[in-house]
């Protein structure tokens, strides 16, 4: 029970996000209307993805420092769950975009090629491609130790590129996506105070959920590799 408090917190926060987030009053902006509620889901996915990828790269660095296979397993699992959150972020964004950006007379997929050119979307797509490449690289090596070492190296190298891609590049190029200057969503002028009451707990709740899923996967994998790790 002592160790489970954050799991309970995660569930409570997500219940709060879904109930209050969907029922509470929100400012109705001309373009956004009710779709603004997607903030509690779409933006939180990216926060959770970024945090999971950071944990993954930290484990990669730890692996190179002390060569424990446990860190390799953690690094991989955090990357996988990060990818899932990235895909969810992409799809919630696609739903949001089809109500706000897309031409109402055209189906959303017809305008996709123009919309996907947006720098923020390019950054997100690159992030996912990098981690898919990471998984391909891992699976292409059979030797356990070598696999762990090489993929940790690639993880760190790729993360160093991910950072400018997501945080610098979109600020240099014109974009439809909000958050052109400063940090999107963290800026206190961007988000209405009523919404911030739900938004920050939602970020925490989704991130904790991601970590929870990952710890379960890590435990399964540790059991699978038990023979190799403890002997």
Partner 1 sequence: MVQSLKIIYALFNKDLLLEIRQQYTFYGILLYIGSTIFVLFMAVEVPESDIWNGLFWVIQLFISINAVAKSFLQENRGRMLYYYSIAGPAQFMLAKLFFNSLLMLVMSVLSLGLFSLFLGNPVEKLGAFIGLVLLGGWSLSLVFTFLAAIAAKAQQNAAIMAILGFPLIIPQLLLLMRLSKAAFNNMMTIPVETVLLLIALDAMVIVLSVILFPFLWKD
* Angle subtended at Cα 156 by Cα 46 and Cα 178, rounded to the nearest 5 degrees: 25
Q: Which helix (H) or strand (E) holds 201?
A: helix 193-224
* By the rule CB under 8 A, 171 interacts with partner 1: no
In this complex, which beta carbon is closest to partner 1, that of residue 20 or of residue 61?
Answer: 61
CA distance to 30, 143, 148, 176, 180, per residue, from 166 (Å)? 28, 33, 26, 15, 12
Give first-to-last CA distance, the chain, whole Å: 31
Number of residues that bind partner 1 (CB under 8 A): 27
- Min separation Cβ 122 and partner 1, Å: 7
Q: For residue 104, give the DSSP letter.
A: T
Instruction: Using CB under 8 A, pick the residue from 48, 49, 130, 185 that binds partner 1.
Output: 130
* By the rule CB under 8 A, 126 interacts with partner 1: yes
Q: Which stretch binds partner 1 (CB under 8 A): 17-25, 48-56, 85-93, 121-129?
A: 121-129
Largest CA distance in the chain: 64
* By the rule CB under 8 A, 8 interacts with partner 1: no
* By the rule CB under 8 A, 29 interacts with partner 1: no
Contacts of 13 (CB under 8 A, 6+ apart): 201, 202, 204, 205, 208
- Min separation Cβ 212 and partner 1, Å: 28
Given the rule CB under 8 A, which residues bind partner 1?
Answer: 64, 122, 126, 129-130, 133, 136-137, 140-141, 146, 149-150, 152-154, 156-158, 160-161, 164-165, 168-169, 172-173
């Amino acid at each position: 029970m002592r160790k489970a408090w954050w799991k309970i917190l995660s569930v409570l926060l997500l219940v709060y996000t879904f109930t209050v987030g969907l029922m509470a009053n929100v400012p109705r902006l001309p373009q956004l209307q009710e779709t603004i509620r997607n903030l509690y889901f779409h933006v939180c996915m990216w926060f959770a993805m970024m945090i999971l990828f950071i944990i993954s790269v930290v484990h990669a660095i730890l692996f190179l420092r002390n060569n424990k296979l446990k860190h390799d397993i953690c690094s991989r699992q955090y990357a996988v769950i990060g990818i899932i959150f990235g895909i969810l972020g992409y799809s919630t964004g696609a739903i949001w975009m089809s109500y706000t950006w897309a031409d109402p007379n055209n189906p959303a997929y017809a305008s996709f090629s123009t919309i996907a050119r947006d720098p923020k979307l390019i950054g997100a797509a690159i992030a996912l491609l990098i981690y898919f490449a990471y998984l391909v690289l891992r699976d292409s090596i059979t030797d356990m130790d070598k696999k762990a070492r090489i993929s940790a190296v690639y993880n760190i190298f790729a993360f160093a590129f991910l950072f400018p891609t997501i945080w610098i590049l979109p600020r240099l190029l014109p974009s439809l996506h909000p958050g052109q200057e400063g940090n999107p969503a963290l800026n206190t002028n961007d988000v209405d105070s009523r919404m911030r009451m739900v938004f920050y707990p939602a970020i925490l709740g989704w991130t904790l959920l991601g970590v929870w899923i990952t710890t379960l996967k890590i435990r399964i994998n540790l059991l699978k590799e038990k023979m190799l790790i403890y002997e």
